[in-house]
Amino acid sequence: MTRVDYPEPLKVLISHLKQLPGIGPKSAERIAIWLMQRGADTSQSFSEAFQTAGDLVVECDVCGFFSTEEHGCAICGDSDRDCAFLCVVEQPTDILPLERSGAYRGHYHALRGRISPLDNIGPDDLRIGELSERLRNGSFTEVILALGSDVEGEATANYLVEVISGFPNLSVSRLAQGLPAGGGLDSADELTLMRALQGRVGI
């Protein structure tokens, strides 16, 4: 008697799903079984979604956001954007929340990471050369650093300030740190309160 196991194609699907971030062996199995019980059409539709996204979605060479070759980059190709402002973010995914805020109408530059010596990520691993290039050739007057407020974000910001100081006509700013909207003082940690005090504005 051979001990029974899932058919090979199902095992292959489960081992694929297990690789995805946040998906453990149990979830992978549950997802695969769910798919099998939905029938071949559902699997087909997923297959096509993966294929199409993999084939068509590319990284914009300029800003680092996602785009398609057919439509070009929705940010860089938008002539209504203010060419004086360049907002530097760590990941392309950081661009959407900034867009949703509705408070920014300029261009973006995704570094695709941040300086993190513990993870062996130095300035050369980021899109900092591309940033210098854009600053040299563009019409930007202000660079806004929209990086994380953790240690790696601070380190990256410090490094970038150094780089940007080579462009004397450019001003640099960073996102304000302070109380998040809707939060009371009791829910703010000490560091946040310290920074909110340091960054207090006259009224």
Per CB under 8 A, 71 contacts its own copies? yes
Read off φ and ψ for residue 173, nearest 5 degrees.
Answer: -135, 170
How is residue 64 written in tokens? 């680092």
Q: Which is nearer to its own copies, 13 or 164 (CB)?
A: 13
Which residues have a Cβ under 8 Å from the Cβ of 23 and sit 6 or more positions away? 17, 31
What distances in angstroms separate CA 44 from CA 29, 39, 57, 73, 85, one per listed residue?
Answer: 18, 9, 20, 29, 44
Per CB under 8 A, 40 contacts its own copies? yes
CB of 134 to its own copies, least distance (A): 17
Per CB under 8 A, 67 contacts its own copies? yes
d(CA 155, CA 146): 13
Determine the interface stretch with its own copies among 93-101, 136-144, 146-154, 188-196 (rule: CB under 8 A). 93-101
Query: Is beta strand 66-68 parallel, antiparallel or unpaired with respect to 57-59?
Result: antiparallel
Determine the interface stretch with its own copies among 7-15, 147-155, 162-170, 187-195 (rule: CB under 8 A). 7-15
Judged by CB under 8 A, the chain residues 46 through 65 that form the site for its own copies are: 46-57, 59, 65
CB of 2 to its own copies, least distance (A): 6
Considering only residues 18, 25, 32, 137, which one is a binding residue for its own copies as defined by CB under 8 A? 32
Check: CB of residue 87 under 8 Å from CB of residue 104. Answer: yes
CB of 148 to its own copies, least distance (A): 16
**Residues binding its own copies: number (CB under 8 A):** 65
d(CA 60, CA 57): 9
How is residue 159 written in tokens? 């490094």
Rounded to 10 degrees, the C-alpha dihedral 103/109/113/115 comes to -100
Considering only residues 18, 25, 45, 90, which one is a binding residue for its own copies as defined by CB under 8 A? 45
Residues that bind its own copies (CB under 8 A): 1-10, 12-13, 16, 20-23, 27, 29-36, 39-57, 59, 65-68, 71, 74-75, 78, 80-81, 91-93, 95-96, 99-100, 102, 105
